[in-house]
Structure 1
Amino acid sequence: MARPRILVVGAGFAGVGCVRRLERRIPPGRAEITLVAPFSYQLYLPLLPQVASGVLTPQSVAVSLRRSQKHRTRILPGGAIGVDPEKKICIVQKVTGEIVDEPYDILVLTPGSITRTFDIPGLPENARGMKTLAEAAYVRDHVIAQLDLADASEDEEERASRLQFVVVGGGYAGTETAACLQRLTTSAVKRYPRLDPSLIKWHLIDIAPKLMPELGDELGKAALDVLTQRGIEVSLGVSIAEAGPEKVTFTDGRTLPCRTLIWTAGVAASPLMATLERETVRGRLAVTPELTVPGLDGVFALGDAAAVPDLTKGEGAICPPTAQHAMRQGRIAADNVLATILHQPLHPYVHKDLGLVVDLGGHDAVSRPLGINLSGVPAQAVARGYHWSALRTGVAKTRVLTNWMLNALAGDDFVRTGFQDQKAGTLKEFEHTDVYLTPDQIREHTAPLHAVH
């Protein structure tokens, strides 16, 4: 009997969690496991704001796949750009640009999400994201460059535009990004004697009426108080009407001189999911509680790109796109893949959210572990303890802990590396959203394969 070919797409929390459990539970030689991943690491996404602010080095949050996996999984360096479920072919673009066809018997889709954007004039050209490691490194360089250029400029209008920073998105990513980067500029400006600290302005805006509504009114207000006390101007019920290279216009009519627009206004499912031509829920592929895709043999989907029913809430609720759910869905998916191979019943995904943590930098944080509201130092201890324990390797844990200690003792650093000076820094450039095939292109591509068979 031929060994079943298990193909896992994506090396985020869900994909890596699935592969690790498959390696533990499937006996050697019983199946072939392939992981499609564009990078040789799993990105610990919740700590990206600390990379952007320089508290952590990029390597600290890039958890090596070679260390976290055993040697049984074949890692294919590339990204899936289309799926033909009828022929059981996944089309992969390798990091070299070469297109290869990967056959599978069981497909586990965990391609994650991309930054959600809207039809706003100038947004694609002038907004910067915070979804990838490269974007975090770019944003850090860009922010420090604005201080350097403002310090060197004799033009008051140019200086004003370089010292205004706008973050769009009042969720966890946007709030933490604004908080961490504001601390960076507050510390850095002391090294710029020609700059007036009062000219540096950070703005956090969101179309929602509340900041991080998932936290509840008490913690949401606590987080808002921390931000406003630091001088961050928070505007709710407001978004961007137009984004230019040197100014932004808000939907309430205000126009700000600004050369730094950081866009974190939510996420959308990977465009890969649309290539399957199946039902979606707000862009996420609809799946059963067992994580299977209805009507597709041997296809599972989970994580940010899948609309997984939240059985603990019921009434049609779906699990939010969080690392907590993705990690646990990965384990259930692995169990159900094994059950499929052994022709055993599948198990539904059921998990009650254990709480939320928001690190605002320094001693500031808000957390709600197991429904208990915390703020300040206790919340910071919980937040960092949770993130540290969630890192998969001892090397990653050591690097992060060392970075935290070094930052606490030595303070912030303000080095601009310049590694990505020649990049435009657009969302499209870093997230590669233009590589996916249409369903017609997929059928045209796999037609010769069908003819051969």
Structure 2
Amino acid sequence: MARPRILVVGAGFAGVECVRRLERRLSPGEADLVLVTPFSYQLYLPLLPQVASGVLSPQSVAVSLRRSGKFRTQIIPGGAIGVDTKAKVCVIRKISGEILDEPYDYIVLAPGSITRTFDIPGLIENARGMKTLAEAAYIRDHVIAQLDLADASQDEAERASRLQFVVVGGGYAGTETAACLQRLTNHAIKKYPRLDPRLIKWHLIDIAPKLMPELGDKLGASALEILRARGIEVSLGVSIAEAGPDKVTFTDGRVLPCRTLIWTAGVAASPLVGTLGAETVRGRLAVTPEMTVPGTGYDGVFALGDAAAVPDLVKGDGSVCPPTAQHSMRQGRRAAENVIASLRGRPLQPYVHKDLGLVVDLGGRDAVSKPLGIELRGVPAQAVARGYHWSALRTGPAKTRVMVSWLLNAFAGDDFVRTGFQAQKRASLVDFEYTDVYLSPEQVRKHTASVVARQG
């Protein structure tokens, strides 16, 4: 009798924690484990702003999957582009471009999220995201290139546009990105004696009335004060009306000469969600507290992380868990336990977890944190933020690289080197997040039906 096949889609926090728990709890002969991911690493997303600013190398936050002890899960290098839950087949586009139809008995959907965008003229073509390792590496090169080009230019208008930078999104990602990159340019400008440091201007904007409202009024105000004291212009209640290659128009009418627009205004569930034809909640798959997809035709389907609206039983009132690493990791472990329970004919358990707080690293000695509801600022907050991130890294080599990089950057600074690896690529949101490869539910069904017909 063939062993049950458990397919996990996505190697983010949720997917990796699920696979690790399945490997520990299932004997090798009890089930076949398969992980679908384009890359054989888990990206530690919260530290991407430090990669963009050069504090950490890209390898530091790309935690190898194959260093996790006796890793016995098969990795399919590619991305899921459709799921036929009736035929129990996942359609996968391998990194070679080949289309693979992977059967499953149980499927755990943890494909994560993509950058949320709006119908703003020029946004897709001219904005850069901060969701992938490639984007972070590109942004670092791009920002340093603007300094190089401004230094070489004799045109004052061009120089001004290259030295203005706009970050959209006053949440965790946008605030840290603006803070870390502004610190990078402030240090780098000392190596450009021909450039006036006063020309460098960073703008952080958000349509919300408060910066990082999840921190609470006091800490949010502290973060705002830190940013403004460092010269970052923060505009709230404002967004982008139009994005051009050399200027940005704000919704309040201002027009800024600018060649760097970084878009971090929220996330949306992976487009894979739309291929199932299942019920959604604000774009995320509707699931039970046990993280199963309800309804006829979804037998053996679990969903979690950023792509699923997992009920928050601690808050109640119909709330769903926010798309954070903290929830995703714990959901991954519970989902694994529930897959095992299904496999062994045991009852499933709901996911319950109280949020432990938020940490925000603003670079240098600047930070604000709220662990377990305790409000911290400055060096204590920085120690908590970095301690949390360091402990969350899965492997010893990753922890060592990050700690050494932090120490080296603190004492030796940055060399402000751009690699040039992606100099000829525009780095649009579509280019780096591959949002145009997914199938519709009808296309998925037609595809699997044609495969069955050929095999018959």
**Does the alignment reach a TM-score above 0.5?**
yes
**1:106-146 per-position Cα deviation (integer Å, ceiling 9, x unaligned):** 00000000000000000011000000000000000000000
- Partner of 1:423 in structure 2? 425
Alignment of 1:356-375 (within 5 A): 356-375=358-377
Secondary structure of the residue aligned to 1:203 is: strand
**1:328-376 per-position Cα deviation (integer Å, ceiling 9, x unaligned):** 0000000000000001000000000001000000000000011000000
Q: Distance in 2 between matches of 1:224 and 1:153?
A: 33
Alignment of 1:390-401 (within 5 A): 390-401=392-403
Alignment of 1:204-219 (within 5 A): 204-219=204-219
- Partner of 1:62 in structure 2? 62
Count of residue correspondences: 453
Q: Distance in 2 between matches of 1:101 and 1:389?
A: 38
- Partner of 2:169 in structure 1? 169
Q: Distance in 2 between matches of 1:425 and 1:445?
A: 31
- Partner of 2:158 in structure 1? 158
**Preserved CA contact (<8 Å) 1:166 1:258:** yes
2:311 is matched with which residue: 281, 298, 309?
A: 309
- Partner of 1:203 in structure 2? 203
Q: Distance in 2 between matches of 1:299 and 1:254?
A: 48
Alignment of 1:341-360 (within 5 A): 341-360=343-362
Query: Which residue identity does 2:147 align to in structure 1?
Result: L
Alignment of 1:35-114 (within 5 A): 35-68=35-68, 70-114=70-114
- Partner of 2:299 in structure 1? 297
- RMSD over aligned Cα atoms: 0.7
- Partner of 1:184 in structure 2? 184
Q: Distance in 1 between matches of 2:451 and 2:98?
A: 17
- Partner of 2:266 in structure 1? 266
- Partner of 1:221 in structure 2? 221
Q: Percent identity?
A: 80
Alignment of 1:120-131 (within 5 A): 120-131=120-131
Deviation of the 1:439 alpha carbon: 1.3
1:387 is matched with which residue: 370, 386, 389?
A: 389
Q: Distance in 2 between matches of 1:48 and 1:133?
A: 7
Q: Which runs of 5+ in 1 are unaligned?
A: none
Q: Distance in 1 between matches of 2:341 and 2:292?
A: 12
Query: Which residue identity does 1:286 align to in structure 2?
Result: A
2:413 is matched with which residue: 385, 401, 411?
A: 411
**1:181-234 per-position Cα deviation (integer Å, ceiling 9, x unaligned):** 000000000000010000000000000000000000010001000000000000
Deviation of the 1:449 alpha carbon: 3.6
Q: Which runs of 5+ in 2 are unaligned?
A: none
2:453 corresponds to 1:432? no
Deviation of the 1:69 alpha carbon: 5.7
**Preserved CA contact (<8 Å) 1:114 1:431:** yes
Q: Distance in 2 between matches of 1:195 and 1:307?
A: 49
Query: Which residue identity does 2:370 align to in structure 1?
Result: R
**1:291-348 per-position Cα deviation (integer Å, ceiling 9, x unaligned):** 0000210000000000000000000100000000000000000000000000100000
Q: Distance in 1 between matches of 2:448 and 2:410?
A: 55
* TM-score between the two structures when normalised by the length of structure 2: 0.99
Deviation of the 1:40 alpha carbon: 1.0
Q: Distance in 1 between matches of 2:30 and 2:149?
A: 59
Query: Which residue identity does 2:67 align to in structure 1?
Result: R
Query: Which residue identity does 1:170 align to in structure 2?
Result: G
Deviation of the 1:411 alpha carbon: 1.1
Q: Distance in 1 between matches of 2:306 and 2:69?
A: 22
Q: Distance in 2 between matches of 1:328 and 1:194?
A: 52
**1:383-432 per-position Cα deviation (integer Å, ceiling 9, x unaligned):** 00000000000000000000000001101220011000111110000000
Q: Distance in 2 between matches of 1:117 and 1:446?
A: 31
**Preserved CA contact (<8 Å) 1:78 1:95:** yes
Q: Distance in 2 between matches of 1:413 and 1:319?
A: 41
- Partner of 1:240 in structure 2? 240
**1:17-52 per-position Cα deviation (integer Å, ceiling 9, x unaligned):** 000000000012110000001001000000000000
Q: Distance in 1 between matches of 2:451 and 2:414?
A: 56
Q: Distance in 2 between matches of 1:213 and 1:409?
A: 34
- Partner of 1:320 in structure 2? 322
Q: Distance in 2 between matches of 1:282 and 1:303?
A: 14
2:445 is matched with which residue: 443, 446, 450?
A: 443
Q: Distance in 2 between matches of 1:172 and 1:71?
A: 33
Q: Which runs of 4+ in 1 moved over 4 A?
A: none
Secondary structure of the residue aligned to 1:311 is: coil
- Partner of 1:2 in structure 2? 2
- Partner of 1:149 in structure 2? 149
**Preserved CA contact (<8 Å) 1:126 1:426:** yes
Secondary structure of the residue aligned to 1:66 is: coil
Query: Which residue identity does 2:71 align to in structure 1?
Result: H
Alignment of 1:278-297 (within 5 A): 278-295=278-295, 296-297=298-299
Q: Distance in 2 between matches of 1:42 and 1:131?
A: 13
Q: Distance in 2 between matches of 1:324 and 1:293?
A: 22
Q: Distance in 2 between matches of 1:313 and 1:449?
A: 45
